[in-house]
Amino acid sequence: MTPPPGIRLEGVGLDFGNAPLFRGLDLLLAAGHMTVLLGASGVGKTSLLRMIGGLAAPDYGRIIANDDLPLAGRVAWMGQQDLLLPWASVIDNVTLGARLRGERPDLARARHLLGCVGLADQAGVLPAALSGGMRQRAALARVLYEDRPVVLMDEPFSALDSVTRARMQDLAGRMLAERTVVLITHDPLEACRLADTMLLMAGNPATLAHLDVPGGTAPRPVDAPAVLSAQASLLRRMMQ
Give the whole-number percent of the chain exceeding pLDDT 90: 79
pLDDT digits (tens, 9 = 90+) for 99-141: 999 999 999 999 999 998 899 999 999 999 999 889 989 999 9
Q: How confident is the model at residue 1 (pLDDT cuts 50, 70, 90)?
A: low
Q: Does 3.90.180.10 match the CATH number of domain 1-74+148-240?
A: no
Number of residues in the chain: 240
Nearest CA to 158 out of 127, 189, 129, 113 is that of: 189
d(C-alpha 62, C-alpha 17), whole Å: 20
d(C-alpha 177, C-alpha 173), whole Å: 6
Half-sphere exposure of 134 (CA within 13 A, CB side): 16
Helix axes 132-146 and 107-116, enclosed angle (nearest 10): 130
d(C-alpha 54, C-alpha 195), whole Å: 23
pLDDT digits (tens, 9 = 90+) for 56-85: 999 999 999 999 899 988 999 998 889 999
Q: How confident is the model at residue 33 (pLDDT cuts 50, 70, 90)?
A: very high
33 contacts 196 by C-beta, under 8 angstroms: yes
Q: Taking the model in full, what pTM does it have? A: 0.93
Res. 49: pLDDT tops 70:
yes
